[in-house]
Structure 1
Amino acid sequence: MTSSPAASELELAAEALDRLLPDVPATLAGRLRSADWGGGRVVESGQFHRVLVLEDVGVLRMTRLSEAGAPIGAAWAPEDSPAAHLPRRMALLEALAAAGLPFAVPRPLSAVLRRDDDAGHPLATAVLQAFVPGQPHPPHEGDAAVLRGIVDALDAVDVTTPAVAAGLGPAFAFRGPWTAERIDRVARLGAALPAEHTSALPADWAGVVGRIAAAVTAWAAAPPDGPSLVHGDLAGHNMHWLPVAGQGGHEVRWEPSGILDWDLAHAGDAARNVASLGIWHGEEWIEAIARTPEEALRARVWLGAAGLDSLDDAAARQELTGRAPRWGRLLRKVLPRIERAAAAL
């Protein structure tokens, strides 16, 4: 969903343009300041942020005061507030922009603008970022060599470098780590489902949840191949690609131009990147993308864990908003992945 920018959002853009970072090239600074930001579009779909996009010019990221869909007056817990985490996340993008990746990242172009609450805690933040051209790759297809190259490029980043390490977050930032409480909550998912869907869960649902959660928790704590840079959501609109015409203009190949939304980036198991690519491009690519059969197996388990995340998130949002998700569609999508993950263990 998109909308036209409000006056307050244009004021934020103007403030950010007055606080461009000193290393922004003069030509780019001129383009940013002379552009008509009122002609941009605000993308509303982000859970943590709203984004004012001015095509081919720049992007203004604005943190949400509460989770998307939350009741009026709701607020983030201080430790979950995207406003508090935005400076760290922008520092990570600066470090990654200097790391020699073969694709672009939306590096910050301005200082982080901050508004505090009465207690002095960050309430809202915003930052101007580089525009990354491209579009999502067509789903359910891809070139295994190109996809493996993306995983290799992330593997090549040294996550122990101080600038990178300081910008990374925890391994389970989306809905939290797999604590005993969370495992129990997901194991009791049937209570949140409409009656017509409760029979869809495997008979040993609690055991399935426990085994998958235990496996990914262990791999996150001690990655079998050593810690790698894990994006956390390497799929869909977070990856930009450019179509390149082949010989004679009859075939199109897709080249990665950039990766967006590094909010969930952490040091962890590289198989998680393989799993994320499998979500968008197709599970059948996992064995071709993975370096070893062991990495492919772990990727399938991570894919199952992502399915558990989706179910947990849907139940949490149902409780938050009072609106039931499309449970039938979601269960048909993720339960086969979860069952395959359990079978792989």
Structure 2
Amino acid sequence: MRELLDVAAAVLPGEDLRGATFAQGGSHDVVLLPGVAVVRIARKPSAVEALPRRVELLQRLQDFPFAVPRPLTDVMQVGDYTAVALSWLPGRPLPRGAAVEPAELSGLLDALREVDCSGLPLSEPHAYAGGTRWAEVLQLDVIPRLPADWRDEARRRVDAALALPDVRPSLVHGDLAGENMHWADGRLIGVLDWDLAQPSDPAVDAACLAWYGWDTLVAAVDETTMHRARTWYGTFGLEQIAFAVLNGESEEAIAKRCETITAWLGRSAKILSSSG
């Protein structure tokens, strides 16, 4: 942790770091300075390459009815580390299933849908799980790793997503759940971690918002969006395995992830079947 503190000190010279805490994401280490800033430190080569683009995106996404992290510094090279400081967002995340007003979720989706994506430095759709090769990766690299009695169900879910009618792409955050959404007094006041932002089907974000309960989501979106959201949700666990495979995780780690996702397939099958 000493090395991460040294990076934070170089990025934010003169800042008091005595209250710093640490977190780790899929591709970054994070130094948290509550009430002051967040220092993101890229840990993987792909994250190093993407960091300038992600910082530019944050600079251009500052016109929402909720807060988005604001870059406080340029992307900086500190020895072998690549880092940037971002503004601290107030509020707190809510646990899975927490009661929220459906209007807060529909307002969020409307705000994203209104953004003009042209010229924004976005990821390609499904970049997390293979991009344009998304379906191929799931069918050839993911499904064969699952237990034999779950492969047909997994194929059915991918086929259902592929069969969805095309919609006009809009700005999709890609991970609207948990720690990425900050609340205060029942209002959504901040959205973090725009690394997966892409031009895609807004129902992908709706599916993520099932974090707050399917009944709440039903009240927040129209019937067509709800159908599409359930369809996309059925592929989310498979994408986690794809991410592990594409990022070179060990076979042992991938096998453990497959065990976790197999259990998720069972739980989510009940959710999806209950929708009719």
CA deviations 1:121-149 (Å, max 9, x no partner) are xx742001100112112321321111111
Letter in 2 for 1:241: W
CA separation of 1:339/1:138 partners in 2, compared to 1, >3 Å: closer, same or farther?
closer
CA distance in 2 between counterparts of 1:37 and 1:86 reads 23
Q: Is the 8 A contact 2:10 2:78 kept in 1?
A: no
Displacement after TM superposition at 1:313 (Å): 4.5
> Which sections of structure 1, spanning at least 5 residues, go unmatched?
19-32, 66-75, 117-122, 245-253
Letter in 1 for 2:175: D
Per the alignment, residue 129 of structure 1 pairs with 86
Per the alignment, residue 191 of structure 2 pairs with 259
Letter in 2 for 1:154: L
Give the number of the structure whose alpha-carbon radius of gyration is greater: 1
CA separation of 1:273/1:59 partners in 2, compared to 1, >3 Å: closer, same or farther?
same
Per the alignment, residue 281 of structure 1 pairs with 212
CA distance in 2 between counterparts of 1:316 and 1:169 reads 16
Relative contact order, higher structure (CA 8 A, sep 6+): 2
The 5-angstrom pairing of residues 94-243 of structure 1 reads 94-97=59-62, 100-114=63-77, 124-140=81-97, 141-160=99-118, 162=119, 165=120, 167-177=121-131, 178-190=134-146, 193=147, 198-199=148-149, 201=150, 204-205=152-153, 207-215=155-163, 222=166, 224=167, 226-242=168-184
Q: Matched residue pairs, number?
A: 272
Q: Is the 8 A contact 1:300 1:337 kept in 2?
A: no
SS in 2 for 1:39: coil
CA distance in 2 between counterparts of 1:64 and 1:156 reads 33
TM-score (structure 2 length as normaliser): 0.86
CA distance in 1 between counterparts of 2:196 and 2:228 reads 19
Q: Is the 8 A contact 1:187 1:209 kept in 2?
A: no
Q: Is the 8 A contact 1:208 1:342 kept in 2?
A: no
Q: State the identity %.
A: 35
Supply the RMSD in Å over aligned alpha carbons: 2.9
CA distance in 1 between counterparts of 2:271 and 2:19 reads 47
Per the alignment, residue 69 of structure 1 pairs with none
Letter in 2 for 1:272: V
1:296 paired to 2:276: no
CA deviations 1:277-321 (Å, max 9, x no partner) are 01x11123332121x211111111111121321344467789516
Displacement after TM superposition at 1:228 (Å): 1.3
SS in 2 for 1:325: helix
Q: Is the 8 A contact 1:137 1:240 kept in 2?
A: yes
Per the alignment, residue 37 of structure 1 pairs with 17
CA distance in 2 between counterparts of 1:286 and 1:305 reads 18
